[in-house]
Every structure is written in C-alpha cells, then in structure tokens.
Amino acid sequence: MPMPSRSNDHQPILARTRTVHSPVGPVAYDCVKVIVVRSGSAILFSEFGQKPVNVGDAVILGANVLCGSEPEGHITVTTIYLDTDYVIDQVFWQHAGLLQDRLEAQGLAETIYSEPAQILRLGEDRAGMLMPWLDDLVERSIEGRFARNFYRMQAVWFSIAHVIAPFVKVSPVRISASQRAHIRPTLPRHRQFAPLRAEARRAAELLHQAPAEQWTLDALAARVHLSPSQLSRVFTDAYGKTPLAYLTMLRAEHLAKSLRETDLPIETAMREVGWRSRGHAAQQFRKYVGLTPTRYRQLTFRAS
C-alpha cells in the first residue's frame, strides 16, 4: 500500500484508511507499519510465509520488510506509518531505567523485536476497541497539522499500542549491564540522534539505480569513499540491513514486479534482476517474500 506523501510539516505518525480490491506488492517502506483489518480478508505474504488475515487481525511490519497481499474480494485496512526514530525513542523511554542512551535503545529493539513481520490475532471485540482511535488518527493525519495535534495524536497512538503490545512476539533475550559494558563503552546518559550519513544515502541510491549489477561490499564502499567495514556500519545504522541484504530485498521486489507484470520465464526474470543461480534466487525470494517465485506467479495469474 503506497505511503502517503508528506508535507513540510513532518509527521512521525501518519494514518490512512484504504479499501483494496486487487493484489499489492510485495513492497517495503523505510518505516514501521501497523495495519489493522477493518473488513474483508486477504492472503498476506512476507517473511512469515503465506497467511490469511481477517477482521480482528493486525499486522506489524518493520522498516524495509517486504510484504504483499491478495485480497479475497476486498479488504479495508487502516495503516499507521511510524517513523523509525520515533519508535526507538519510545523504546528508550519505556526502558529508561535499563538503558544508557538512545543507541542502546536501538540495540534493545533489534534484540527483543526479532521478528520483523508479525500477524497479531487480536479478535473482533478487541480490534473493535481500536476503531474510534484509528478514525481519530486518520482524521488528524489528513488535517496535516502535526505540531498542533501532537499531544492528541500521540495519546491516541499510545492507546492503540497499549492494546496491541501484549500480542507482539518478543525474544526472551536480555542484555545485562555487565554484558553491555563489554559490548560497548559506557556513555553518558543522554539522547543521541544520529543523522543519516550521506554515504549511506548514496549507497542506497546506487543499489536502487542498478540492482542487477553484481555489487560487492568492496565495490560499493569504493563508490562512496568509505572502507567496507565503515559502510556496513553506517548503512546498517541507517536502514536496519547490511548493504547486501538491502540489495537482496530490492532484487526480490523487482523480481516480484516482473512476475506480476510480464510473461518472462522465471529464470530469465531472475537473471534480469541480478541473480545468476535459479536455486539461490528462489531461496532468497522465498526468504524475503514468503513464497517461491513459481507460487507467487500462480497467485498473480489466479487473481488477474
């Protein structure tokens, strides 16, 4: 589902309601998405595989996670788009007694929220509680005056999060204070907002422009004038994936588009997006999309 364009009044929380009648995706966004099903049903495919969603279900997708859908007739959803920095700030303040700084909050979020694509079976009654809040959030998002509506929108989002949080799968792994001290130096306790490095943005642009190129980490690093280890670090900080994992996601997205919109043989389509081995391509596609290329094409043809 396409993310609404943003005005100059930057909104770290944005909500839209939409009815979908035809297959979508798989696509990925550089934000966290919470999708609540209001009516209808669909088959979703993502890193969790192929699963049905109905009224009473919600979906959580991490940043840069591919997800597509095939509506069964139609599906109406409200989608909440959350800026990743905004989410990390919430993790920081939720666990402020355990964390040294905001960078540790990012590490904790990556540890405990280890499943980046989840379907939450809330049930119709519990999901029904969310509807007035979702409508309020959509109305204020359309109005677009986030600074003016900040407290109300944040309060509404917190009410929604309070209902869905118990259903989110988390990892039992925790990092103790002594373990943290060995992992990284102890820093003064203050918030650290790390600007997106220009080199990370440029590397992402290069991958978007030429996903079929046989990129290596060394070659990409040379193009942005960083060492491979530096690039890997700043890119992962910016996008939550290593450069080559991000490239794999882009290739999966392009292959899905080719399988949907052309009648190219699957092996030819794989080569055109940069994969030379059919077996490797099928394995990576399934990892990121949740379906094999053959199954994905079958679903597309059945729906058309």
Residues 165/169/172/177 CA torsion (nearest 10 deg)? -50
| Whole-number Å distance between alpha carbons of 295 and 297 | 5
Spans of the chain below 70 pLDDT: 1-9, 96-114, 171-196, 301-304
Q: pLDDT digits over 143-172, tens only?
A: 888 888 889 999 999 999 999 888 888 765
pTM passes above 0.75: no
- Asked if residue 26 has a cis previous peptide bond (ω within 30° of 0), the answer is yes
The closest of 269, 239, 240 to 252, measured between CA atoms, is 269
Tens digit of pLDDT for each residue in 108-140? Answer: 566 556 677 889 999 999 999 999 999 999 999
